Amino acid sequence: MPTERRSKILFIVGDAALFESHQLRLAQEAIARGFEPVVACGAASDQGALGGMGIRTRSFELSLSGWRPLRDMNTFLALLRLYREEAPHIVHHVSIEQVIYGTLAARFARVPAVVNAFSGLGSVFAQPRLLARVSRGLVNLLYRIVLSHDNMRFIFQSREDLQSFVARNVVPKQSTHLIRGSGIDFSKIPFTSEPAGAVTFVLIAPMLSEKGIREFVAAARNVRRLQPWWRFRLVGGVDPRDPSALAEAELESWNAEGIVERLGFRADVAQILTESHIVCVPSYHENLSNELLEAAAIGRPIIAANLPGCREVVRDGITGLLVEPRDSNALAEAMLRLGQDPDLRSRMGHAARERAAALYSIEDVVHDTFLIYEELLRA
């Protein structure tokens, strides 16, 4: 977009590596269009790779301790300082964790335009306990109070999440946009037929209890009694700072028992997916993650929790199977159904690729996001 000044877009993210894997094309497109992108990351995040690409970065104090309003005041103050120093034309909060404090800071710092991206509703909306219900009420109230700005837009990855926020009068419908995920570059992720050999299931996620890791292991234990040669792989790192991280001892005990193969963090996710027959996403809550999109793009059927983010990608019985969260028996039944039927896997894999190509291209995501930026800058 031609402008008389070099507009600055400040992206607020928790982790530099996640920005590199999910939103890098937005920063690159900003440079191509004559904008100045700046990426602000949590202080513990490694920003070297982004700097090596010519993208300027900043750091800010980021709490990883969950919903702690008093402690999180440090995050608000850090963002307020950052916004005043950078004076961006647009601030784009990439994840839900920074939306409340970032939007409030943007109002105090008089940032002209704000984009708030909701990749999901967060764990507080997924937990059934009484304390979580009380927290949801508090979060809804905070959203209504804070999410007001003269020039703001809201991006949702799930239509169900968008409709939920509008129905609860948290955000005005006219300010919302549906952009499904971070996008996939299909020129770099070709469709591949499933590999030869033993049926292999894979779960790719941070090793957090809320990702359904224990349910995956319990299902694998049950299935292996009937299919001892099938393989079950866990891929993902452990962040000890996260309060829901699984203990190393528990993870290693599963590996030593031979129930699952623990691969740890792997950067070559596409290769891992290519080596697998079926992808499992048994989370308690789930965004429209790149792992879901890449699995569909490569042509793998997906067994996923029956949640909004998963339902965006998985059409039950068409591109995969949906099971209820926290139900290891249902997960095991779905594993057996798909594992024993190669024709069904093939049909679902092809359908998943076709749906992904129609809805989730990176070009569409970048194009639609910059339409929002341009609209805000004209206001």
pLDDT at residue 56 tops 80: yes
pLDDT > 80? residue 71: no
Q: What is the pLDDT of residues 308-317, one digit of tens each?
A: 889 989 999 9
pLDDT, tens digit, for every residue of 83-99?
999 999 999 998 777 88
Same fold, 8-183+361-378 and 200-359: yes
Q: Residues 5-12: what's their mean pLDDT?
A: 88
Q: What is the pLDDT of residue 131?
A: 43
Cα separation, 268 vs 262, in Å, equals 15
Tokens (6 digits) for 317: 């019985």
CB-CB contact of 186 with 214 (8 Å): no
Concatenating the DSSP letter of every residue in 171-205 gives: S-GGGEEE--SS-B-TTTS---PPPSSS-EEEEES
For residue 3, pLDDT beyond 50: no
Residue located via tokens 């224990």: 214
Specify the residue for token string 């039927």. Answer: 341
Helix (H/G/I), strand (E/B), else coil: 41: strand
The predicted pLDDT at position 308 comes to 83
pLDDT of residue 67: 54
Rounded Cα distance between 106 and 100, Å, is 10
pLDDT value at position 2? 46
- The pTM is what? 0.81
Specify the pLDDT at position 125: 43
- Is residue 7's pLDDT more than 70? yes
At 130, phi and psi to the nearest 5? -60, -45
H-run or E-run covering 8: strand 8-12
| pLDDT band, residue 74 (cuts 50/70/90) | confident
Mean pLDDT of 185-207: 93
Q: Is pLDDT larger for residue 76 or for residue 29?
A: 29
Task: Quickly count helices (H) and strands (E) in the chain.
Answer: 15, 13
- CB 301: neighbour CB atoms within 10 A? 28
* Lookup: tokens for 34: 């004559």
* Domain ranges across the chain: 8-183+361-378, 200-359
**pLDDT tier for residue 136 given thresholds of 50, 70 and 90:** low
Which of the four CATH numbers 3.40.1390.30, 3.40.50.2000, 2.40.110.10, 3.40.1740.10 does domain 200-359 have?
3.40.50.2000
State the pLDDT confidence band at 240, using cuts at 50, 70 and 90: confident
Q: Which two tokens stand for residue 149?
A: 């700005």
Phi, psi of 137, deg, nearest 5: -60, -40
Taking the CB of residue 69, how many other CB atoms lie within 10 A of it?
Answer: 12
Domain range 8-183+361-378, its CATH number among 3.40.50.720, 3.30.565.10, 3.40.50.2000, 3.40.710.10:
3.40.50.2000
Q: Enumerate residues 6+ apart whose C-beta is below 8 A from 358.
A: none
